[in-house]
Structure 1
Amino acid sequence: MIDFLLRPWRRNFGPDKAYYRIIDDLFGFVPHNIELYKLALVHKSASLVLEDGRSINNERLEYLGDAVIEAVTSDYIFIEYPDRDEGFMTKLRSKIVSRQSLNGLAVKLGLDAHVISANGAGIAQKHIYGDAFEAMMGAVYLDQGYDFVNRLLINRIYFGLLDLEELTESENDFKSRLIEWCQKNRHKVSFRTGFDKEAAPNHPVFHCTVLVDGMEVGHGAGDSKKEAEQHAAFSVSQYMTDEQCASLLDKVDRLTGTK
């Protein structure tokens, strides 16, 4: 009842009314601690410097939000697909929480219009909206609790903006895509795959390492050699930041003399 009475006041009066309106319009509620959400909008390229010299931005909230989103998404998939195995659920979760997917959700919500970043934020610019989305979910978790952010993500965002059918049918031959990319950009790619000798006899496990021009860039495991190589290829794009990718390619170019 108190929140209902405070909602119009917070939206229309006070120094932070613009931020209250942003959160209410995007997510349908008025926060308790607006400072969390204000910080969630600050990309590291526009970090705020405190009097003691410390820089603050949305990276810590992004870290927390990443974990919250993965937990909620696991719940969501487990309920939506009661007959599917662990492999399917793991792959679908990876697609939902990928940088590309979260960036798309942020844009669909309209969050991109409110992110604060410095001009020329660099190669990471492509994903700052997805990063801000993660930070926002971290802020919601701290401000409203896990049950609230669970309902918000599933009922308002996933049900309204996420196309599960499209995600489940999307291309998943990551090994072929990686090989094609390397061939196009004149880089040598190889897959070092082996059997885990310590695995149980009735549950074989294979481990794979992806190498680009001799450099280890991704790892994966699976019940078969093919599955391990697919997971390793997927990890190259999924678990490396844009800055790391750029640094890797710069290093590869220097080593191979292509620059």
Structure 2
Amino acid sequence: MATSGNFFVQIQQKLGFRVFNKKIYEEAFTHSSLNLKDSNGKAINFERLEFLGDALLTAIIAEYLYFYYPKAKEGNLTKLRAKIVSRTKLNQISKEMRLFELAQISKSSKNFGDDIHGNLLESLIGAIFVDIGYQKTKNYVIKKIIKPFIDMSSLDNLVLSYKAFLIEWGQKEKKEIKFIIQDDFGSDQKVYYCAKILLDNELLAKSKAKSKKKAEEKAAKIAARILKIAPKPIHVYNGK
């Protein structure tokens, strides 16, 4: 976590342009665990900027895809956009940008979950918009996020949810797929969740993780590998 003394030096290095509204960037990296409020009692944290950044990012990505794939159908563009703005992808990008290093968080808070990384990325985008407007925000997203971190050629095979893919496969093949979740206390006494997948009432795969969703996804990915099945590529034709 950055100290107040070098916060703006670091944020300007990451952004690559001059910051005008310093307070909005402080807010963009302030976690609600600090319980900060202004003189009017309004909470100071990144949640409102996260909301704004989420909407901006979705719009910018939609516009970028529209012109990048001039002959793609609406359904395919929607799928591609969903892959880019998925929580998993945004978390990954934020980690590579090392945004968490700038977060201002209560020392007593430890369990944030992985999604805080994507939340910080969205709040940063919201702050940039408030500071310098839409056009420059769009330029930043394209130059500093899309081009360095999004491999457009690999999006076809990116799976948003292996669980959803496996369930859809079962429906098409008329196979019964069941997900069973159980608590699993490890040797360190931390609670994990064990996900088991049954295929026609026979154990197919299992895995465990710190959240139910992640345990199911890991197990579903293993199951897909065992069954030797993979999602069909979207095959977006861009007319280039």
For normalisation by structure 2, the TM-score amounts to: 0.64
Report deviation, 1:25. Answer: 1.4
CA RMSD of aligned residues (A): 3.0
Report deviation, 1:167. Answer: 2.3
Tell me the residue number matched to 1:85: 73
Does residue 97 (structure 1) correspond to residue 93 (structure 2)? The answer is no
The separation in 2 between residues aligned to 1:145 and 1:114, in whole angstroms, is 22
Q: Which of 152, 162, 167 is matched with 2:155 structurally?
A: 167
- Structure 2 unaligned regions, length at least 5: 171-176, 183-210, 214-240
Tell me the residue number matched to 1:236: none
Question: Does structure 2 conserve the Cα–Cα contact (< 8 Å) formed by 1:43 and 1:128?
Answer: no
The separation in 2 between residues aligned to 1:140 and 1:55, in whole angstroms, is 20
Structure of higher RCO (CA pairs closer than 8 Å, 6+ residues apart)? 2
The separation in 2 between residues aligned to 1:177 and 1:45, in whole angstroms, is 38
Does residue 117 (structure 1) correspond to residue 113 (structure 2)? The answer is no
Report deviation, 1:178. Answer: 5.7
The separation in 2 between residues aligned to 1:20 and 1:178, in whole angstroms, is 47
Tell me the residue number matched to 2:206: none
The separation in 2 between residues aligned to 1:139 and 1:171, in whole angstroms, is 30
Report deviation, 1:121. Answer: 4.7
Report deviation, 1:51. Answer: 4.8
Q: In the comparison of the two structures, how many residue pairs are matched? A: 176
1 or 2, which has the higher helix percentage? 1
Within-5 A mapping of 1:227-246:
none
Tell me the residue number matched to 2:124: 136
The separation in 1 between residues aligned to 2:137 and 2:73, in whole angstroms, is 26
Deviates more, 1:166-175 or 1:104-113: 166-175
The separation in 1 between residues aligned to 2:115 and 2:132, in whole angstroms, is 26
Give secondary structure in 1 for the equivalent of 2:120: helix
* CA distances 1:6-62 after superposition (whole Å, capped 9, x unpaired): xxxxxxxxx966232122211211211011001100122233134554432100111
Give secondary structure in 1 for the equivalent of 2:113: helix
The separation in 2 between residues aligned to 1:90 and 1:161, in whole angstroms, is 19
Q: Percent of counterpart pairs with the same letter?
A: 29
Tell me the residue number matched to 1:69: 57
Does residue 158 (structure 1) correspond to residue 154 (structure 2)? The answer is no
Letter in 2 for 1:77: L
Letter in 2 for 1:114: L
- Structure 1 unaligned regions, length at least 5: 1-14, 187-242, 246-259
Does residue 22 (structure 1) correspond to residue 10 (structure 2)? The answer is yes
Stretches of 4+ moved more than 6 A in 1?
Answer: none
The separation in 2 between residues aligned to 1:56 and 1:121, in whole angstroms, is 20
The separation in 2 between residues aligned to 1:156 and 1:56, in whole angstroms, is 27
Tell me the residue number matched to 1:37: 25
Question: Does structure 2 conserve the Cα–Cα contact (< 8 Å) formed by 1:31 and 1:143?
Answer: yes
Letter in 2 for 1:175: A
